[in-house]
Amino acid sequence: MIVYMKKLKIILPFSILVILYVLFAINNKPLSKYSLNDKEITGYIYACQTKEGKTTLKVKGKENILINYYENFNCKLGQKIKAIGEMKLPNKNTNFNLFNYQNYLLSEKIYYTFTANNIKIFNNKPNIFYQIKNTLYNHTQKYKTENYLKALVLGDDNGLSENIKDSYQTNGISHLLAISGTQITFFSCILLFIFNKIFSKPTSYLLIIIFLVFYLFVTNFQASILRATIFFIILTINKQFELKINTINLLTITCGILLVYNPYYIYNLGFLLSFTVSFFLIFFSKIISNKHNYFAKNLAISLIAFLSSTPVLINNFFQLNLLSPLINLYFIPFMTFIVYPVALLTFIFKPLDNLLFILVKTMENASLILSKINFLNISLCHINIIIFIAYYILIIFILYKWSKGKNYIVIFFIVLVIHHNINYLNPNSSLTMLDVGQGDSILIKLKNNKGNILIDTGGQKSYDGKEPFDIAKNITIPYLKSEGINHIDYLILTHGDFDHAGMALNLIKNFKVNHLILNKENNDLEKQITKTFKGKTTNISKGVITINNIKLFFLNGINSHDENNDSLIIYTKIENQNILLMGDASKESENYLLNTYNLPKMDILKVGHHGSNTSSSKKFISVVSPKISLISAGKNNVYGHPHQTTLQTLQNSKIFTTKNDGAIKINLKNLTIKTAR
């Protein structure tokens, strides 16, 4: 322990200063040379991607900026362009726990996005460096392994299929696609061996540093490659000048330099995993050195990497594959000693393309098969900062004891099992209205894991009205996982409009659903959903369904053969809170309720039809008199929802809209409310 404390004694003061700087920087608005009023951007393209009729450009103008252009654009890296259009602030996360696009762009020093209506090319002759970069990218197009050559040699994995990348993520091996210290060390050693035959050692190291700096330019200064390159440079300086700074301090200096350069790297997953795993592997290297055979050493490395990355992975993917350490025992050497060297050689010698193709197909098939082994792939809910720190205290304790020859790793897996089943200890039920744009999706989560109910799924959201967005994959499923939910007990579709049921097919194909409830009047979409769904299906308009002592009253018996009027209207009482969910029901449906039932005053009202003036009559609202009114409406939606008349009618209640507040979560025990914005 004394050795570790001596290391910390040197590390801590520098680390504390860097942490304070990062906290100050990320809590203050970044200074940008652009403003939202700018209508014109001029700069050089340093990255571009065209996919499904949309071109995404990263341009170096006054500063880095991302340009979205909804046309096919034949771009060259290094072209100077002028774009005319509209400046936008990148979207923050509007659903709890999920991916924050704004922070991701900040980690690339991009503060604004720009939607271009027109792009003009000023200079079609890039400088010599961009010409080389274009040549390298064009060179890969001659290969059938083009996508892997781009990923493993040029650091661009955009060409890999989402299905394959998802399988790598599920198996905990997606890090193998990122160029990092292992690869940098690999070809640096090769170059050093060659250069030492020709030049003196100082000259050889200088040439390698020049090469690595250019390689950074080729790979767009990715965080993991930047870490590896700066670490190599500092390591070289330490060795050449005999400074005798130990490795852990060199890594700390590297981390500090990068965070001072860009504090927002703290939001970059590659940066976090790269440094976290590296720190732990170096700090607890004694565990590895104590092993006396190749298999044992690699298992130790894999377990340390698995333990140290777990809290970060939990808060980004909300699931963990317990087979990951063993899976990595196969994939790491296969990638490091076979696939990656062959990829480098293939990049130079095209006849090796067939061999590389066989290798990557072998890797893909193995990954796809392993990703289907679900029983050890556990969901783990999002953790707050206190639990996050507690995890790392436990991990450090386990690794310290391991370094002393005592194995307490079973404690870690016990904690994971408890974490996986944490919903059984949840004392409160909750209702969450997700932000799915112009649509509806509500999650009711019953206390003590007694059941969860998803009401509607949202539809296909579009950014700028053009780019399709998979709500099920990007919002609903990850949010459910972040709540520790690995299946849906009841999926209720209020009616068949696309903005309410459009993601149901995607959801049931990619997530376990036990029971489907629909209206009796089914349209074509609902019939397709019913045909695809393999579980229990119930058609209902009016009646009662009981879920673990919670009664759901379906109130709408109007049978007007109109999608909106026939919406399922659900009344329930949970934790003594009266809740009324109106779907897209109109004033006609409201009159039916008033004439048929003696409605109580509501604690929570999900306002009908996104706050349209076709719903929420003054008479109806005066009767149900809601304490809290929830409206799901998309930002800048073309319908003008919610209507001002509706807002005035609801003025005696607390009004929350996904348009302004993002997702809204209500603790049903005490009606405390959290919003994502």
Query: Over pLDDT 70: what percentage of the chain?
Result: 97
May I ask the CATH architecture of the domain 429-675? 4-Layer Sandwich (3.60)
- 40-125: CATH homologous superfamily? Nucleic acid-binding proteins (2.40.50.140)
Average pLDDT value for the chain: 91
β-bridge partners, 118 = 84
Query: Over pLDDT 90: what percentage of the chain?
Result: 73
Q: Is the pLDDT of residue 465 over 50?
A: no
The span from the CA of 266 to the CA of 475, in Å, is 23
* Average pLDDT estimate for 461-483: 79
Structure confidence at residue 59 (pLDDT): 96
Structure confidence at residue 177 (pLDDT): 85
Q: Where are the domains of the chain?
A: 40-125, 138-417, 429-675
DSSP-based three-state secondary structure for 214: helix
β-bridge partners, 606 = 581, 630
With contact defined as beta carbons under 8 Å apart, do 530 and 516 qualify? Answer: yes
Structure confidence at residue 463 (pLDDT): 45
Q: Is the pLDDT of residue 466 over 60?
A: no
Q: Is the pLDDT of residue 659 over 50?
A: yes
Pairing, β 467-469 against β 536-539: unpaired
DSSP state of 463: E
Q: Which helix (H) or strand (E) holds 59?
A: strand 54-60
β-bridge partners, 513 = 488
Cis preceding linkage at 642, omega within 30: yes
pTM, full prediction: 0.91
SS (HEC) of 165-196 = HHHHHHCCCHHHHCCCHHHHHHHHHHHHHHHH
pLDDT tens track for 360-388: 999 999 999 999 887 788 999 999 999 99
pLDDT tens track for 41-84: 999 999 998 887 789 999 999 999 999 998 888 889 999 999 99
pLDDT tens track for 202-215: 899 899 999 999 99
Structure confidence at residue 128 (pLDDT): 93
pLDDT tens track for 606-647: 999 999 999 999 999 999 999 999 999 998 898 999 999 999
Report in angstroms the alpha-carbon separations of 352 from 145, 186, 190, 349, 359. Answer: 10, 19, 19, 6, 11
**At 11, is the pLDDT very low, low, confident or very high (cuts 50, 70, 90)?**
low
Residue 313 burial by CB count (10 A; 0-12/13-18/19+): exposed, middle or buried?
buried
Range of weakest confidence among 3-7, 478-482, 506-510: 3-7
Amino acid in the structure at residue 469 = F
Q: Which of 549, 564, 638 is nearest to 608 (CA)?
A: 564
pLDDT tens track for 511-548: 999 999 999 878 999 999 999 999 999 999 999 999 99
Residue 543 burial by CB count (10 A; 0-12/13-18/19+): exposed, middle or buried?
exposed
**At 10, is the pLDDT very low, low, confident or very high (cuts 50, 70, 90)?**
low
